[in-house]
């Protein structure tokens, strides 16, 4: 791709992010809001994830299943076979994720006969599913259909064996290679079935388990059993003791139990004979009858409760969110009832009322689950108090706040009236269903469908708002988080653009270009002979110098573009999720690559940047006279230009005052942003900025308070100073005479010297770009372990302040350690392969390769930075642990290995300071320190999988192999260098004597 086109893509993406108007997407289907995995996202994001889960890739190439087509034609389903031929050509075709998702939802019956699920091994495919039709071959890549999976006896037998071994306690490590393939196929097929689930097409086995749970047949807490027991007590008391007192026999629990038994028997019979369950319409009528009986029984129980508790109102409506609780009523028993039998009756009535009330919620949740089998496509909120109550969202029934496509497009009117419609208003689902049918015929109806969904969502949101109790903050927050987004929502459209931009893909692409350019620049430098016949004329040398300079500049620009696009990606993820982009392993990997690019670029351009940064830092100090750098120049100048310098000094004085005022303003802005970032914009909008700022300092003890004050104070003091200095650096570089004044040379001469010195640091640039390339490529390709999806974070991480200061400090320390590792690898390689120099004198000495002498001081600096930031990050992490978990240190594996890494870095650096070893010791120490970092960062999350810090991990496929390979290669590389060094030193010593 030409560089100009890449730049245009970046500029377009930047324009889209700056202007919300430009964010508007033409594809209404792909920008449809979808609720998945606890958050709202565009359909484009959901489609990519679900297609990747099913097909192994986001843009699969799908072919026909010849065996399934032949079977369809023989069994009289020629219309399905013809539709498959229309959809998938003979040589297959590639599908976009959003296109594939729509087709799966529209006509799932034909996709059961199309090869969707990838098989990595051709031998496995032939063994499990047999040969193809005569004259046919397995499609490439090998894929199988749901029809083949369900009709392969070998596959089903192997899958049953795997389930049996899981029940016996065997782990995945004990399984053979074919077992892992079988498990992966089972997971992919299950994802497809859950997405396209409909009770009319699949046996709802989950419904049976939910009903078992409700009646207490699975060992879980049940509301059915206490209700049934207290009802029997009332029956016995009414018949024996005094039936004219409270009329408990009017509680008709026997009718409820009978209707529930009908449901259980229908599901059990269909499950036993492996036949589809009754249609959704029939089941809905059963549920409506059951809920009507419960409501009638609940009304009678409320009358009984009001007779026993005068002055207390019991509402029998199902929309009762904030009713009085059983814990509030039972203490009144002793005061209101004098006799023991009256206390027993009141206690039984109270338990019965609240058991029936809970039972009703569980039945309603099971009713919702009729159309929900787990991983479903949800695009419309549900108007029910059940889904808004905070407790029910954490219930094992798993009620979701948004409805699935099966609920919206396939439910009966009774279902829609209960969970979507407002009383007395027409069905809000009718326009959605009609526009869905129109969209199946023509794609131009996408905008009509999106508008119909939005209109229905606004009506549902108005009804949902009536269920929210203003005094219940948790309920209000839950309502706000699950509410339907506004039109052209910035988060939805930003995530859509983020998915299209693929910023972390371009990060490693630009890093690759940087490596290539740097290698070409190095080859131009190495190809020039030291004594060239053209040295005086400059023909060949000038051309070579020009190529070297331009390729070096191109390498720097590519690395800066890589860093810039990684920064853009991190900002977009933070804006989308609302959290600092360091909440999971993928984000820490790509942000570490960004930190490596920043640190490495600074070291690569050190001769150019450091003097300008140092001068800019002086100019932006609070207590620095801005005219001081010019006084020496004014005193030495005796020409007419003095008046010009006086004007410059006056301007600098004004600038100094403005800089101080600007820095004060930036300090206030930094404090505001920290408060906004730590408390959240919703908290600031509701309680005000001052309350949000003070909430940061609400800690458990004085040590916590001092830690927060120190962290906030350092950020507020140094962040504006750093930003102002960085903004001033380009202007100083445009005026190099400001830097050259101390060396008594012209600005042009200093610029030439600095650029020439920078050209000699191509090694740092190449190593930095290589590390960014490696880390970015690993994150992009290994998506099983480094899941790139934006996901809700663990509850323990929900503190933006601690998340940012702790994790970012740790990541920068890792970045410094990795650059030191890269330099150490190259330096040890020079020890292995380079020739050694010898100095003959009174004593024969051996000198290390020149590169070792050059990089060892920089490695030492990087290790100091890594040690300092790792200590700071660990201390802040301990404070966060005390804040979240109530303890500073628990010898968690992550904590232990962080301590080991700190001690190892300290030993390496102190050994150098104590002169126990020289450059080779610090180089080898950097190599071994990287092993400790990898174990702390990667091994704890994926290999050892222990402790409370593994929330950043993922599904590890080859984690153990990767970690031990990294450790083995590094140890072998270091050992080989030390052996070569010892042998050469011994040989030179012998020849010298």
Asked if residue 148 has pLDDT above 60, the reply is: yes
Other C-beta atoms lying within 10 Å of the C-beta of residue 262? 12
Asked if residue 719 has pLDDT above 70, the reply is: yes
The model carries a pTM of 0.79
Grouping H, G, I as helix, E, B as strand and the rest as coil, residue 107 is: coil
Helices (H), ranges, 735-802: 737-740, 747-759, 762-781, 800-802
What is the spatial distance between Cα 267 and Cα 800, in angstroms, rounded to a whole number? 47
Q: Which residues pair with 36 in a beta bridge?
A: 39
Burial of 421 (0-12, 13-18, 19+ CB in 10 A): buried
What is the spatial distance between Cα 918 and Cα 157, in angstroms, rounded to a whole number? 64
What is the spatial distance between Cα 17 and Cα 15, in angstroms, rounded to a whole number? 5
What is the spatial distance between Cα 967 and Cα 935, in angstroms, rounded to a whole number? 9
CA distances to 113, 378, 420 from 199, rounded to whole Å, are: 20, 16, 19
Q: What is the pLDDT of residue 793?
A: 77
Asked if residue 877 has pLDDT above 70, the reply is: yes
What is the spatial distance between Cα 824 and Cα 846, in angstroms, rounded to a whole number? 20
Tokens coding 530: 């030291």
**pLDDT, the chain, mean:** 76
Other C-beta atoms lying within 10 Å of the C-beta of residue 918? 13
What is the spatial distance between Cα 892 and Cα 873, in angstroms, rounded to a whole number? 16
b/e sequence 324-344, b meaning 16+ C-beta within 10 Å:
eeeeebeeebeeebeeeeeee
Q: What is the pLDDT of residue 867?
A: 93
Tokens coding 714: 């350092």
Backbone angles phi, psi at 868, to 5 degrees: -60, -50
- The verdict on whether omega for the bond into residue 812 sits within 30 degrees of 0, i.e. cis, is no
Q: Which residues pair with 62 in a beta bridge?
A: 93
CA distances to 128, 143, 145 from 66, rounded to whole Å, are: 16, 12, 10
Q: Which residues pair with 380 in a beta bridge?
A: 403
What average pLDDT does range 455-464 have in this prediction? 87
Tokens coding 491: 């988060």
**Range of lowest pLDDT (665-679, 769-783, 970-984):** 665-679
DSSP state of 941: I
Q: What is the pLDDT of residue 825?
A: 92
Q: Which helix (H) or strand (E) holds 805?
A: none
pLDDT tens by residue, 460-502: 888 888 877 766 676 777 787 888 988 767 888 888 888 888 8
Backbone angles phi, psi at 761, to 5 degrees: -105, 30
CA distances to 104, 387, 505, 574, 711 from 684, rounded to whole Å, are: 43, 27, 35, 18, 21
What average pLDDT does range 574-580 have in this prediction? 83
CB proximity list for 206: less than 8 A, separation 6 or greater: 369, 373, 374
Q: What is the pLDDT of residue 818?
A: 93
pLDDT tens by residue, 748-771: 888 888 888 888 888 888 999 999
Cβ contact 61:92 at 8 Å: yes
Inter-axis angle of helices 503-527 and 762-781, nearest 10: 150
Q: What is the pLDDT of residue 483?
A: 86
Other C-beta atoms lying within 10 Å of the C-beta of residue 580? 24
pLDDT tens by residue, 843-856: 556 667 778 888 88
- Alpha-carbon dihedral angle through residues 538, 543, 544, 550, given to the nearest 10 degrees: 130
Asked if residue 678 has pLDDT above 70, the reply is: no
Q: Give 47's pLDDT tier (boundaries 50, 70, 90).
A: very high
Cβ contact 44:494 at 8 Å: no
Work out the percent of the chain whose per-residue pLDDT is above 70.
73
Asked if residue 938 has pLDDT above 60, the reply is: yes
Of the two residues 286 and 770, the one the predictor is more confident about is 770
Best mean pLDDT range from 1-5, 242-246, 473-477, 594-598: 594-598
pLDDT tens by residue, 373-406: 767 899 999 888 777 775 455 555 677 889 888 8
Asked if residue 625 has pLDDT above 70, the reply is: no
Q: What is the pLDDT of residue 683?
A: 61
**Range of lowest pLDDT (252-261, 270-279, 429-438, 904-913):** 270-279
Burial of 440 (0-12, 13-18, 19+ CB in 10 A): middle
Other C-beta atoms lying within 10 Å of the C-beta of residue 149? 21
Look at the chain and count its residues: 993
Q: Give 244's pLDDT tier (boundaries 50, 70, 90).
A: very low
């Amino acid at each position: 791709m030409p560089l100009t086109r890449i730049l245009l893509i970046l500029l377009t993406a930047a324009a889209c992010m700056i202007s919300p108007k430009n964010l508007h997407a033409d594809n209404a289907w792909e920008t449809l809001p979808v609720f998945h995995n606890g958050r709202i996202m565009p359909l484009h994001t959901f489609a990519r994830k679900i297609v990747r889960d099913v097909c192994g890739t986001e843009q699969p190439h799908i072919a026909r299943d010849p065996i399934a087509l032949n079977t369809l034609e023989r069994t009289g389903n020629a219309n399905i076979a013809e539709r498959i031929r229309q959809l998938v050509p003979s040589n297959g075709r590639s599908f976009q994720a959003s296109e594939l998702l729509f087709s799966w939802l529209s006509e799932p019956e034909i996709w059961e006969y199309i090869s969707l699920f990838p098989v990595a091994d051709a031998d496995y495919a032939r063994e499990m599913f047999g040969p193809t039709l005569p004259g046919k071959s397995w499609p490439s890549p090998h894929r199988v259909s749901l029809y083949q999976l369900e009709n392969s006896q070998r596959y089903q037998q192997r899958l049953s064996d795997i389930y049996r071994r899981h029940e016996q306690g065997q782990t995945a490590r004990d399984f053979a290679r074919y077992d892992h393939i079988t498990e992966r196929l089972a997971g992919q097929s299950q994802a497809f079935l859950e997405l396209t689930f409909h009770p009319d097409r699949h046996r709802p086995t989950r419904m049976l388990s939910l009903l078992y749970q409700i009646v207490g047949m699975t060992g879980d807490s049940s509301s059915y059993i206490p209700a049934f027991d207290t009802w029997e007590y009332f029956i016995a008391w009414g018949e024996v003791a005094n039936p004219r007192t409270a009329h408990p026999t009017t509680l008709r629990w026997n009718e409820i139990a009978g209707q529930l038994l009908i449901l259980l028997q229908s599901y059990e019979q269909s499950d036993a004979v492996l036949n589809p369950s009754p249609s959704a319409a029939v089941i809905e009528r059963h549920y409506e009858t059951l809920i009507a009986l419960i409501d009638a029984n609940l009304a009678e129980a409320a009358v009984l409760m009001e007779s026993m508790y005068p002055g207390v109102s019991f509402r029998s409506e199902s929309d009762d969110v904030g009713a009085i609780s059983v814990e509030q009523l039972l203490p009144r028993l002793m005061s209101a009832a004098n006799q023991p039998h009256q206390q027993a009756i009141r206690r039984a009535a109270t338990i019965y009322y609240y058991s029936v009330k809970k039972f009703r919620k569980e039945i309603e949740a099971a009713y919702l689950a009729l159309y929900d089998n787990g991983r479903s496509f949800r695009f419309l909120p549900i108007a029910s108090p059940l889904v808004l109550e905070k407790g029910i969202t954490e219930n094992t029934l798993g009620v979701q706040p948004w409805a699935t496509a099966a609920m919206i497009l396939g439910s009966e009117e009774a279902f829609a009236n209960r969970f979507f419609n407002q009383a007395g208003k027409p069905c809000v689902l009718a326009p959605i269903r009609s526009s869905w049918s129109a969209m199946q015929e023509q794609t131009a109806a996408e905008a009509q469908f999106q508008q119909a969904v939005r209109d229905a969502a606004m009506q549902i949101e108005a009804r949902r708002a009536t269920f929210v109790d203003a005094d219940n903050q948790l309920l209000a927050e839950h309502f706000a988080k699950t509410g339907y987004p506004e039109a052209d929502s910035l988060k939805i459209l930003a995530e859509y653009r983020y998915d299209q931009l693929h910023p972390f893909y371009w990060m490693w692409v630009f890093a690759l270009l940087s490596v290539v350019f740097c290698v070409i620049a190095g080859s131009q430098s190495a190809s020039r002979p030291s004594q060239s016949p053209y040295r005086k004329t400059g023909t060949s040398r000038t051309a070579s110098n020009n190529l070297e300079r331009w390729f070096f500049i191109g390498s720097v620009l590519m690395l800066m573009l890589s860093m810039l696009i990684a920064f853009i990606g991190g900002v977009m993820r933070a804006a989308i999720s609302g959290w600092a982009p360091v909440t999971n392993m993928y984000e820490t990997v790509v942000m570490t690559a960004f930190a490596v690019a920043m640190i490495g670029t600074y070291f690569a351009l050190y001769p150019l940047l450091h003097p300008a940064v140092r001068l800019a830092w002086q100019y932006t100090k609070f207590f620095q006279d801005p005219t001081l750098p010019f006084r020496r120049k004014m005193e030495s100048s005796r020409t007419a230009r003095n008046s010009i310098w006086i004007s410059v000094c006056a301007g600098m004085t004004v600038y100094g005052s403005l800089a101080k005022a600007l820095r004060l303003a930036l300090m206030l802005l930094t404090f505001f942003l920290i408060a906004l970032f730590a408390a959240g914009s919703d908290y600031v909008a509701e309680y005000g900025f001052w309350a949000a700022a003070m909430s940061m300092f609400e800690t458990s003890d004085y040590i916590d308070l001092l830690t927060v004050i120190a962290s906030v104070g350092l950020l507020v003091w140094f962040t504006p100073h750093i930003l102002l200095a960085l903004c001033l650096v380009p202007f100083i570089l445009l005026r190099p005479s400001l830097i050259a004044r101390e060396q008594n040379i012209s600005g042009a001469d200093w610029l030439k010297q600095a650029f020439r010195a920078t050209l000699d640091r191509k090694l740092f640039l190449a190593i930095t770009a290589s590390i960014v390339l490696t880390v970015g490529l690993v994150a992009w390709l290994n998506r099983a372990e480094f899941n790139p999806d934006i996901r809700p974070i663990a509850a323990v991480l929900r503190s933006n302040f601690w998340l940012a200061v702790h994790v970012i400090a740790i990541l920068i320390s890792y970045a410094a350690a990795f650059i030191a590792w890269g330099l150490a690898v190259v330096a040890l390689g020079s020890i292995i392969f380079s020739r050694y120099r010898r100095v003959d004198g009174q004593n024969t000495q051996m000198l290390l390769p020149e590169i070792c002498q050059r990089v060892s001081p920089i490695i030492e600096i990087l290790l100091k930075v890594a040690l300092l930031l790792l200590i700071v990050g660990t201390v802040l992490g301990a404070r966060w642990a005390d804040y979240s978990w109530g303890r500073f240190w628990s010898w968690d594996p992550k904590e232990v290995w962080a301590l080991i890494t700190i001690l190892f870095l300290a030993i390496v650096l102190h050994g150098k300071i104590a002169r126990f070893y020289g450059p080779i010791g610090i180089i080898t120490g950097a190599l071994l320190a990287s092993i400790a970092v990898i174990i702390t960062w990667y091994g704890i999350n994926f290999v050892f999988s222990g402790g409370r810090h593994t929330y950043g991990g993922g599904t590890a496929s080859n984690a153990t192999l990767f970690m031990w390979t990294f450790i083995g290669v590094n140890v072998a590389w270091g050992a080989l260098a030390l052996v070569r060094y010892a042998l050469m030193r011994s040989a030179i010593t012998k020849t010298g004597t």
